[in-house]
Amino acid sequence: MDYISGLNDRQKEAVLYTEGPLLILAGAGSGKTRVLTHRIAYLIDEKGIFPGNILAITFTNKAANEMKERVEYLLDGNTDYMWMGTFHSICVRILRYNIDKIGYGKSFSIYDRDDQITLMKECIKEMDLDKDIYKERVIINTISSLKDKMIEPDAYIKENYSSLYNRNVGELYALYQKKLKENNALDFDDLILKTVELFRTDPDTLDYYQKKFQYVFVDEFQDTNKIQYELVRLLSQRHKNLCVVGDDDQSIYGWRGADISNILNFERDFPNTKIIKLEQNYRSTQNILDVANHVIKNNRERKNKKLWTANDTGEQVIVENVVDSQEEAYFVANKIEELKGEGYDYSDFAILYRTNAQSRNFEEIFMRKNFPYKLVGGLKFYDRREIKDIVAYLRVIQNPVDDISIKRIINVPRRGIGNVSIEKVENYANRMDISIYDAINQVENIEGLSGRAKNSLKEFSDMINKFMDRVYNMEIREFIELVLLESGYVHELEKEDTIESKTRLENINEFLSVAVDFDVNNPGGNLEDFLSGISLLSDVDKTQDVDNSVTMLTVHSAKGLEFPIVFMVGMEEGLFPISRALESEAELEEERRLCYVAITRAEKLLFITYAKVRTIYGSVNYCLPSRFIDEMPEDLISINRDKGKTQSIRVNEENHKSKLIEIKDYRERRETPKIKNNVEKGDIKAGTKVKHSKWGIGMVVMIKDRDDGEQEITIAFDDNIGLKRLLVSMAPIEIVR
């Protein structure tokens, strides 16, 4: 079979270059999987390499299976002897035969997350540490990160000896590893770590696998961490026929340990590396690619390449300036309706956002319009655990005889009310033919409960009763904030301090935005009304055609996917790029790579939206367009700025918290709401001292006149706030005389 037929020149070069280290820089949509599979097939069929001498490593089972199927199709035969799989599956295979050489039994167990938490609980208890300070999940995440970086417990303890907390974490790490070994068990991170340990301590085993694997392939190399890189380096040292495929411009997982330096410095560690750039894109129009190229070239830490295509030039990228997040959702929905009339299916559309919490507005409007949709990599907003927990609290306050809701939240967050205690309360309620809530209020009459359990139940009852007394004297948003605060729910998540807990906090804050909307649009509305609206929104038709649905997903989840039409929403400073990245050049560059990934998901049409006012996380924010929009060439994009009716925004002068606009028809365009700041264009110069209602005193350091007539200023604030970009017309500032 001709394995280079139909390939472009660079792809052919990559397939035919078989000896020595090879770095394939594969741009988005450049056909990297095709190159990999054709190269493997060429080695086996044309070069006579035995399949068992080839190792191909991927990051997902799906990618491994797809690659294997393609190779089998090309060879028209079985490739069972070839080693192809994820880092973890390859390591399990090696350890099953050899782990006894480092003191483990070959029948070792692999602990999942629940097993890890159980074991860490034992460690915390054994060391007599405060479980409210030393959280199992936090400690496990820390240990995982240390293993990825190949940092041993003793080294971590030595490095952090002056910190009691960190020193104890190091001791927990050591005890955790000791207990794992006693149980002849490995956790997920150990699979790679112990394989590297095996290779370093047993030269014969390393020699065997180095001889065996004459050719080593690694897909998505830009996503490798330190320990994965070390594994690959050790395996490929003898033959040096290491082929890695990746794109430094798509390295977006630094937050979970991926090290971009692995691909940037590859030729340093592997001298005489051949570098082949796959720059021809088969997915997108040239206009879309040019926009992506212009954005990514602003990164310093990258290898130079420029995507091009033989596809049509295509239409301009549309940048839509909307007033607020609700208008944004209507814009997207209306555009989908319009394009469906031109022959597109729902499945042709994807909505990409920076954070999961942003899906809420689109879900609500799609439900109203009866649009089928699916979320990738997450639950629908009202199905998320934290949202269901909050709603359960509110239902109990509104309707205390709701036993289902009360059982959901009675020990959330943990209050020391265990399952046995709950069962005794429920049994008492059944005997007396009363609700669980009524039973809790009679806790002294329930037999078999410990004193601690009774106290915890009484505290829970007092809290719920207090909420019931206050619910009618507060706006819904205020009331929900009270519940979140005094229940300890938010505090518990803040203490956990994991990526998962931070995401859950983002969703909780977005739920406050739902409450803000309700307060504005339903003057005099009560908790019952609010819950009724929530019930209607969360009652999604389960029979929707998911195969023909609009896809909603974060940009991280979109990597590797493609869609004819893409909406990039929420393109504002502080949201995309995310606010925490603004103080770090490395993190800002990763955000820019994330933007590049988002742009290159689009095949035919790309729409970008940004709002001037966004109600997110429970408060109104006045926004500036993302700097990434500024990096897009003006001749390739069409910016539609807001115009139309002027509507007012209600401001609470006491606490400076703005409320949403009440809008009858969001499909009508309208001017941006503004607040009075008594500062006119021209009043401010570089060096002017100003006071911001939230951030305090600052000094203007830069002024920029925008194309839309607005004046943008950069202010350096005191008290570690740093630099902030604001619009003069909307910023809540006054000049300090």
Question: How far apart are alpha carbons 3 and 1 in whole angstroms?
Answer: 6
Burial letters for 214-243: b for 16+ Cβ neighbours within 10 Å, e otherwise?
Answer: bbbbbbbbbbbbbbbbbbbebbbeebebbb
What strands, in cross-sheet order, belong to the sheet with 689-692?
722-727, 711-717, 696-705, 689-692, 733-735
Catalytic residue list contains 659 = no
- Cα angle 672-674-676, degrees, rounded to a multiple of 5: 165
- Selecting among 10, 11, 13, 32, the annotated active-site residue is 32
Reference 308, options 289, 292, 283, 291; nearest CA is 289
- Selecting among 13, 190, 219, 348, the annotated active-site residue is 219
Catalytic residue list contains 250 = yes
Catalytic residue list contains 32 = yes
Q: Would strands 185-187 and 109-111 be described as parallel, antiparallel, or unpaired?
A: parallel
Interhelix angle 499-521/136-148, nearest 10 degrees = 130
In angstroms, the first-to-last Cα distance of the chain is 81
- Selecting among 39, 147, 601, 612, the annotated active-site residue is 601
Question: How far apart are alpha carbons 91 and 254 in whole angstroms?
Answer: 23
Question: How far apart are alpha carbons 12 and 10 in whole angstroms?
Answer: 5
Reference 246, options 232, 234, 264, 230; nearest CA is 264
Contact 552, 376 (CB under 8 A): yes
Reference 608, options 291, 340, 162, 345; nearest CA is 291
Contact 311, 339 (CB under 8 A): no
- Selecting among 18, 33, 86, 142, the annotated active-site residue is 33
Catalytic residue list contains 33 = yes
Q: 3-class DSSP state for residue 256?
A: helix
- Selecting among 220, 259, 572, 603, the annotated active-site residue is 220
- Selecting among 58, 116, 177, 250, the annotated active-site residue is 250
Does an H or E element contain 626, and which? none
CA distances from 347 to 99, 371, 564, 666 (A): 47, 11, 9, 25
- Cα angle 315-346-667, degrees, rounded to a multiple of 5: 75
| Catalytic machinery residues | 32-33, 219-220, 250, 601
